Amino acid sequence: MHFNLNKPPLVVIIGPTAVGKTEVSLQLAERLNGEIVSGDSRLFYRGMDIGTAKPTSLEQQRVPHHLIDVANPDETWSLAVFQEAAQKVIANIHQRGKLPFLVGGTGQYIRAMLEGWAPPELVPDPKIRRVLDKWANDSGGDELHRRLGHLDPLAAERIDPHNVRRTVRALEVIFRTGRRFSSQTRKQETFCNNLVLGITRPRPELYNRIDERIEAMLAAGLVEEVQALLQKGYPPDLPTFSAIGYREIIAHLQGEISLEEAVMLIKRATRQFVRRQANWFKPTDPTIHWFNADEHLAANMEACIRDFLST
């Protein structure tokens, strides 16, 4: 693999939910004088800690972390806002002589950084937004997402069916331009030499880890965390609360489903999310170095990074 020596390095660690990115990224950053930049859109929001498996305060003390707890749940951190903030943070890490690690599970955000995406330059149209929002309220976000699937299958595959805000934006761009949303992302020159390291586990093992994590979240107080957010006055229909875990617990707190049903839905939705994550980063992608999550994971990844830095 060849790199532009005029660009500073960026190590990107990817992999599905619960595969083990947090712990190995901490070990690598400690060994290689690094700092961690979150590429997980769920970690932006204050007060949403348990349900997002946010790094604990002790973990964040081990290594400096960035782009965690940067917004309140009723604020929107778009892809464009993330890109701008991430570029500034990464540049600052380089200036201090440290190695940045971009770690995450939000495929769209990671790809945007790796490929220098420039989202469609289209100012939101309030009239179209109102129509689409009404459509979502009347017919449901799932129906809106199904319609997107007919018009732009690739965009629908990449957008979470529960993320009504992104579905609305994609449809707005399609209706206003007459072209598929997925075809309108422009690419610019990237500002780093990117080394992309992927972590993988056998699917049954990964699903067991997901189930264990969800049970641990409940034991740690997930229901109470969601209750506290609602008691602070955040409305239950906030786009931020469409995140897996929060929407199901809210439905339970509103008396729509039992806690057992909520847990079952969280586990099922998380497995579906893992399959969507795989659409962003294929095992056949030649730009990704894949590693099995075994006892040699950190050592193998460290050797790859050191080789990359020495080129």
E strand spans, 105-247: 117-118, 186-187, 193-200
pLDDT at 270: 96
For residues 12-31, give the mean pLDDT: 97
Residues 145 and 120: their CA atoms lie apart, in Å, by: 20
In terms of Cβ atoms closer than 10 Å to its own Cβ (0-12, 13-18, 19+), residue 178 is exposed
Please report which helix (H) or strand (E) contains residue 290, including its range: strand 288-292
Q: pLDDT tens, 92-148? A: 999 999 999 999 978 989 999 998 887 666 777 888 888 888 888 888 888 899 999
pLDDT at 2: 39
Q: pLDDT tens, 67-98? A: 999 999 999 888 889 999 999 999 999 999 99
Q: pLDDT tens, 213-235? A: 999 999 999 999 999 999 999 99
For residues 48-61, give the mean pLDDT: 96
Q: pLDDT tens, 171-214? A: 988 998 888 887 776 677 788 999 999 999 999 999 999 999 99
E strand spans, 5-124: 9-14, 34-38, 65-66, 99-104, 117-118
Domains assigned to the chain: 9-119+186-310 (3.40.50.300), 126-183 (1.10.20.140)
More confident residue, 77 or 58: 58
pLDDT at 311: 80
pLDDT at 155: 85
pLDDT at 119: 66
User: Which residue type, as a one-letter code, is found at position 80?
Assistant: A
Q: pLDDT tens, 285-297? A: 999 999 999 999 9
